[in-house]
Structure 1
Amino acid sequence: MAERFAVHAYKCVDCDRAFFALERYLPHRCPFCQCPSVVRLKDRAEVTIWPAQPAGEPGSPAPPAGEPGEGKG
């Protein structure tokens, strides 16, 4: 069963990177450069997270392709 979470977008003032955090979690530091200067960008959004499915079951993504040139003689 899928779960829905509310998230907010944040931006680091120092390194200029954007990231998301759960609504109930207020980031005190940038996850990239660890500076304390983060600002919230927009209103909250909702995301749906689906549980992982074992490989080979219907609806699961295809397995990753091999390296280019593998299997050629």
Structure 2
Amino acid sequence: MPDMLVRLYDLPDKTGIIKELEEKGIQVRRAIGPEKHIVVEWVRKEFNNHWASECDIAFSRQPVSCFIATKDQE
């Protein structure tokens, strides 16, 4: 059986990408609890119920594992 280990300490740094997006007015951040109903409904509308369920579960994790990108508060 092949080695299935993943060296997470070797992952590339994403800070540059995040800063590049911020310069374009796009904010990427972890969603917060009060946004759950808005985010889950948006996912349901734009994708389907299956993805909305996955998004709902992401809000139940600690810390929340759902990240959102916004531009001009949209």
**TM-score normalised according to structure 1 size:** 0.20
**TM-score normalised according to structure 2 size:** 0.20
User: Larger % of strand: which?
Assistant: 1
User: Larger % of helix: which?
Assistant: 2
Asked which structure has the greater CA Rg, the reply is: 1
